[in-house]
Amino acid sequence: MSDDGVTIEFLSRDKLSGHELDDKLDLVLEKVKDDAVLVLEEGWTPEEKRTLITDAMEQVDDEFPGIEFMGLNSGQSRLDKARNLVYDKLFDEKPRRGLTIVGNSRVMEKIKEERDAVSFLAKLENEKE
């Protein structure tokens, strides 16, 4: 984090799609440890979220207090359910729609999270002690 503000990085689905889970986690945690807030153009599975939390907690120290994350997942309309079925049957994968927002817990403060809306406060002050 600079003295002038918080860095917010937007990472496309394509930027992360070619990576194994461990590589994605390393990339995300490296940027978050530098106090960036990441907006990822994909929803994360419960397993990925669990692994991210576990990996972040293992790295907590005086300099890195952990992470905050939240997401927007698109609804499950009939079209979404049909699309999921097609992806699952033809491509053996699930479409990853939505957004995931990840940041250092020293920088991010969750305010409100709903299925279709997220609000958070990015703190400008440096609270390292």
By C-alpha distance, which of 34, 33, 75, 72 is closest to 52? 33
Domain for residue 2, yes or no?
Answer: no
**Band of pLDDT at residue 129, cut at 50, 70 and 90:** very low
- On whether residue 62 sits in a domain, the answer given is yes
Number of domains in the chain: 1
pLDDT digits (tens, 9 = 90+) for 65-116: 999 888 876 555 566 566 656 666 666 555 556 788 888 888 888 777 776 7
Inside any domain, residue 128:
no
* Domain of residue 99, CATH code: 3.30.950
Range of the domain at 13: 8-122
The DSSP-derived string for 17-58 is HTS-HHHHHHHHHHHHHTT-EEEESS---HHHHHHHHHHHHH
Residue 3 belongs to a domain: no
pTM > 0.75: yes or no: no
Q: Does 43 reside within a domain?
A: yes
Query: What are 47-71's pLDDT values in tens digits?
Result: 888 999 999 999 999 999 999 888 8
Residue 89 lies in a domain: yes
pLDDT for the residue numbered 119: 80
